[in-house]
Structure 1
Amino acid sequence: MVAALELYLDVDATRRVRTLWRALEAEGIPTLASLLNDKHRPHVSLAAARTLSPAPIIEALDGLPVGRGLTLDLDFVGQFVGRVLWLGVTPTAELLKHHAEVHARLAAAGVETWDLYQPGRWVPHCTVSMRVPNPQMGPAIRRCLEMLPLRATVTGAGVTDHANGIDVPL
């Protein structure tokens, strides 16, 4: 499974992403809303790994207001191999600097994360679906584009591993 260090969006942006999830679900496209019994909330992951222990992350990031106050502009739609559909976050200098600081602190504390989330490789995104059926990818992309652009403010962060019951706010 996947464990992550997640950034959470303000109430309005969260509502809009959840509305998108419901619209796609109504069209038979599975989203994060139906994955793991609705445990997911709209987010942007700063780091991910097979497992993450919250305690070392909390200690490593002590004193850093992880993500809080960052403005995220979700302006495009993207896909990863495996039929993963997401809303793309414009990678601003402020966001990339914050991401690099988080990873420097995690690395110094010995917290290992996947290479794809490392500075220089990370693609900031808000996942919509992990498995869009191939025939429905076009309609799913069009539905996503209908709700963009979306500006969000990061209001919180947390370490999650929903498959193992971990959801610890920072």
Structure 2
Amino acid sequence: MAEALDFFLDDSSAGEIMGLRARLALAGVPVPASAPSVRFARGAAIPAKVRGKLAEDLRLLVLPELWLAVLGTILTAEPRLVLGAVVDTELLAAHSGVHDALAGRVREPSSRYLPGSWLPHCALTRELGAAAVPSALESLAEVRPIRAKVASIGITDTRTGQVTRLIR
């Protein structure tokens, strides 16, 4: 089991992401059922006993608006399409603040989400075979940048998809 710290998008930008996912689904591309979010951290576990203090610390962060403006792929064994965030100093500062708040509280943190390795994005598809990527990209020929605000923060059980809200 793994748990992730996800920053969920406001209704307007989430609706735009869901519209892109609907276009992909109409083209037969598998899309996530989860609410649109940007994952800031992941680890084997974020223990329940530290979540209250974690929520207090995260409330102190200044959360920047996100510009989701880069259509691309996450290149793993089974790639996925994503809408990447434009990385600026405010976003990197917020990400560092998240990891300062998580320090010593997450069991087995994932190196992919640590400062210096993190690629902020919102998933548009589930995992795809490499041969499916070109047609998925073609179904999204026109994508406009999305200005997104963070509406809530939660811990997602990556196995079940269940979200425990920390901040609404």
Secondary structure at the aligned position of 1:79 is classed as strand
> After superposition, what is the alpha-carbon deviation per residue over 1:47-70, rounded to whole angstroms, capped at 9, x for unaligned?
012443344243234143276742
Name the aligned partner's letter for residue 24 of structure 1: L
Q: Note if contact 1:72-1:89 (Cα within 8 Å) is conserved in structure 2.
A: yes
1:43 aligns with 2:43: no
Secondary structure at the aligned position of 2:35 is classed as coil
Match of residue 148 from structure 2 = 152
Q: Note if contact 1:78-1:85 (Cα within 8 Å) is conserved in structure 2.
A: yes
1:26 aligns with 2:20: no
Summarize the Cα distance change of 1:58–1:68 in structure 2 as closer, same or farther, 3 Å threshold: farther
> After superposition, what is the alpha-carbon deviation per residue over 1:73-116, rounded to whole angstroms, capped at 9, x for unaligned?
01111212221211100111111111111111211435442001
Take 2:110 and 2:123, find their aligned partners in 1: how far apart are those partners? Answer: 17
Q: 1:65 aligns with which of 22, 46, 59?
A: 59
RMSD, matched Cα: 2.2
Q: Could you list the runs of 5+ residues in structure 2 that have no partner in the other structure? A: none
Take 1:69 and 1:110, find their aligned partners in 2: how far apart are those partners? Answer: 21
Take 2:162 and 2:93, find their aligned partners in 1: how far apart are those partners? Answer: 27
62-71 or 94-103: bigger deviation? 62-71
Take 1:166 and 1:153, find their aligned partners in 2: how far apart are those partners? Answer: 22
Summarize the Cα distance change of 1:63–1:115 in structure 2 as closer, same or farther, 3 Å threshold: closer
Secondary structure at the aligned position of 2:59 is classed as coil
Take 1:147 and 1:50, find their aligned partners in 2: how far apart are those partners? Answer: 34
Name the aligned partner's letter for residue 127 of structure 2: R
Secondary structure at the aligned position of 1:91 is classed as coil
Match of residue 36 from structure 1 = none
Match of residue 50 from structure 2 = 56
Q: Could you list the runs of 5+ residues in structure 1 that have no partner in the other structure? A: 34-39
Summarize the Cα distance change of 1:23–1:55 in structure 2 as closer, same or farther, 3 Å threshold: farther
1:141 aligns with 2:160: no
Match of residue 83 from structure 2 = 87
Deviation (angstroms), 1:145: 5.2
1:17 aligns with 2:17: yes
- TM-score under structure 2 normalisation? 0.85
Summarize the Cα distance change of 1:64–1:87 in structure 2 as closer, same or farther, 3 Å threshold: same
Matched positions, count: 164
Summarize the Cα distance change of 1:119–1:18 in structure 2 as closer, same or farther, 3 Å threshold: same
51-60 or 3-12: bigger deviation? 51-60
Take 2:159 and 2:22, find their aligned partners in 1: how far apart are those partners? Answer: 22
- Report % sequence identity: 29
